């Protein structure tokens, strides 16, 4: 396994567990907590520069990209609502009443929002719910569209597909991946990880392959993390940027083909649930288990017999985050959030190329 020197630069403590992380603009990142707060950290100083309080349990934060400078606008998922906040304000601490827009998306108080996702143009907001429902909000009209096909259990993750203006993919505790056309509200393709056999090395798993997390590569590769310690990789929708030796550019298909079984594989990457993953390059991603085993993987090109595989390049255990809920990559930083051993909130900030003497 190759050495890629990521060193823990700093550990940040919060009163309540960190539930989600998001990259912001202008060298900031956001951390949502179970106690209804969102903190905005400066990447350089790692100090809190702004916060939102009193929201209810925060499950997801997404930032609207912009080029105007400042923190811009964010969307926060808490309980059954999605709230929009303008962060370019002199206020240091914002409250629920400062939301510029509130959308009630859950059917009732038990139908919690799990993840939000923004498309590349910031014009559509996708959401998924405990009821298994997947939906999209058109941000220009505020019209909410719910997909005709839901998951049979909790839907925990939803992602837009790059360069596909009407397509998204969702993953649920029913072990299914559903690929939707959100304009037509129809399912274009699906894959059931419950039907995918365990590898010989994994033996008997005590957990079903609930889909807990997902990440979408900018080139259209999908990665999904499961409760039984596996990562599922779908390369069928990969968009090739050029010709490499021995391979030709894939023609752009009428629809994304990322769930095609003959261009997908599963790999055992950790003992325990894969609660978080993130791409740092088109074919390079980090995965984290619930207990903090963080691994950097490279997705290989198909071998001569067409076999696809993923190889670990580097691994490290978290030291202060006892249970991992989220991981994001920003430049040379890897930021990991979750619970401390005592049940509070904890964030570890790792930096690439940082020598221990530099800390």
3-state helix vs strand vs coil in the chain, percent to 5: 5, 50, 45
- What's the pLDDT at 251? 61
∠ CA 299-28-342 to the nearest 5 degrees? 80
- What's the pLDDT at 197? 61
Query: Residue 273 pLDDT more than 50?
Result: yes
d(Cα 61, Cα 99) in Å, to the nearest integer?
A: 14
- Which one, of 352, 358, 327, 357, lies nearest residue 5 by Cα? 352
- Which one, of 101, 61, 98, 69, lies nearest residue 84 by Cα? 101
Q: Structure tokens of 316? A: 């490290």
- What's the pLDDT at 359? 41
Collapsing DSSP to helix, strand or coil, 116 comes out as strand
Q: Which residue has the higher pLDDT, 355 or 166?
A: 166
Q: What are phi and psi of 195, to 5 degrees?
A: -95, -5
- Are 286 and 295 contacting, i.e. CB atoms less than 8 angstroms apart? yes
Q: Structure tokens of 226? A: 């499961």
d(Cα 316, Cα 6) in Å, to the nearest integer?
A: 9
Query: Residue 322 pLDDT more than 90?
Result: yes
Cα pseudo-dihedral 298, 301, 306, 307, rounded to 10: -10
The length of the chain, given as a count of residues: 359
At 253, the pLDDT band (50, 70, 90 cuts) reads confident
Query: Residue 69 pLDDT more than 80?
Result: no
Query: Residue 245 pLDDT more than 90?
Result: no
Q: Which residue has the higher pLDDT, 106 or 204?
A: 106
At 4, the pLDDT band (50, 70, 90 cuts) reads low
Which parts of 173-227 are beta strand (E)? 176-181, 186-192, 211-216, 222-226
Give the residue carrying structure tokens 């259990």. 153
Percent of residues, the chain, with pLDDT higher than 70: 89
d(Cα 229, Cα 263) in Å, to the nearest integer?
A: 21
Q: How many CB atoms lie within 10 A of CB 334?
A: 24
Query: Residue 176 pLDDT more than 50?
Result: yes
Q: How many CB atoms lie within 10 A of CB 1?
A: 10
∠ CA 144-146-147 to the nearest 5 degrees? 145
Q: What are phi and psi of 346, to 5 degrees?
A: -150, 135
CA 203 from centroid of its chain's CA atoms: 28
Counting DSSP H helices and E strands in the chain, the numbers are 0, 29
- What's the pLDDT at 242? 52
Query: Residue 79 pLDDT more than 70?
Result: yes
∠ CA 295-39-21 to the nearest 5 degrees? 25
d(Cα 278, Cα 127) in Å, to the nearest integer?
A: 19
Q: Which residues pair with 78 in a beta bridge?
A: 58, 81
Q: How far, CA to CA in Å, does 110 sit from each of 85, 106, 107?
A: 24, 8, 8
């Amino acid at each position: 396994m190759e050495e890629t020197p990521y060193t823990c630069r700093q550990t940040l403590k919060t009163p309540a567990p960190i539930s989600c992380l998001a990259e912001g603009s202008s060298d900031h990142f956001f951390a949502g907590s179970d106690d209804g707060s969102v903190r905005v950290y400066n990447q350089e100083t790692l100090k809190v520069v702004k916060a939102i309080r009193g929201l209810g349990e925060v499950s997801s934060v997404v930032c609207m990209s912009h080029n105007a400078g400042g923190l811009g606008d964010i969307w926060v998922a808490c309980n059954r609502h999605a709230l929009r906040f303008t962060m370019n304000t002199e206020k240091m601490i914002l409250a629920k009443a400062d939301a510029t827009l509130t959308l009630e998306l859950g059917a009732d108080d038990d139908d919690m929002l799990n993840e939000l996702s923004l498309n590349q143009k910031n014009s559509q907001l996708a959401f998924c719910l405990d009821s298994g429902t997947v939906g999209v909000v058109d941000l220009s009209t505020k019209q909410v569209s719910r997909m005709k096909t839901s998951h049979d259990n909790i839907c925990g993750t939803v992602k837009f597909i790059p360069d596909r203006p009407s397509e998204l993919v969702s993953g649920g505790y029913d072990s299914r991946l559903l690929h939707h056309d959100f304009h037509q509200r129809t399912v274009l393709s699906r894959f059931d990880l419950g039907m995918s056999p365990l590898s010989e090395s994994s033996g008997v798993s005590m957990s079903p392959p609930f889909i807990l997390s997902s990440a979408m590569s900018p080139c259209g590769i999908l990665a999904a993390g499961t409760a039984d310690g596996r990562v599922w990789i779908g390369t069928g929708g990969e968009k090739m940027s050029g010709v490499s030796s021995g391979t030709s550019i894939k023609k752009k298909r009428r629809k994304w083909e990322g769930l095609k079984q003959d261009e997908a594989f599963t790999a055992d990457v950790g003992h325990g649930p894969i609660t978080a993953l993130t791409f740092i390059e088109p074919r390079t991603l980090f995965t984290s288990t619930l207990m903090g085993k963080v691994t950097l993987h490279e997705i290989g090109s198909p071998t001569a017999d067409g076999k696809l595989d993923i190889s670990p390049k580097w691994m490290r255990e978290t030291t202060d985050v006892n249970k991992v809920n989220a991981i994001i990559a920003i430049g040379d930083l890897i930021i990991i959030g979750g619970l401390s051993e005592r049940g509070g909130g904890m964030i570890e900030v790792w930096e690439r190329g940082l020598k221990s003497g530099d800390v």
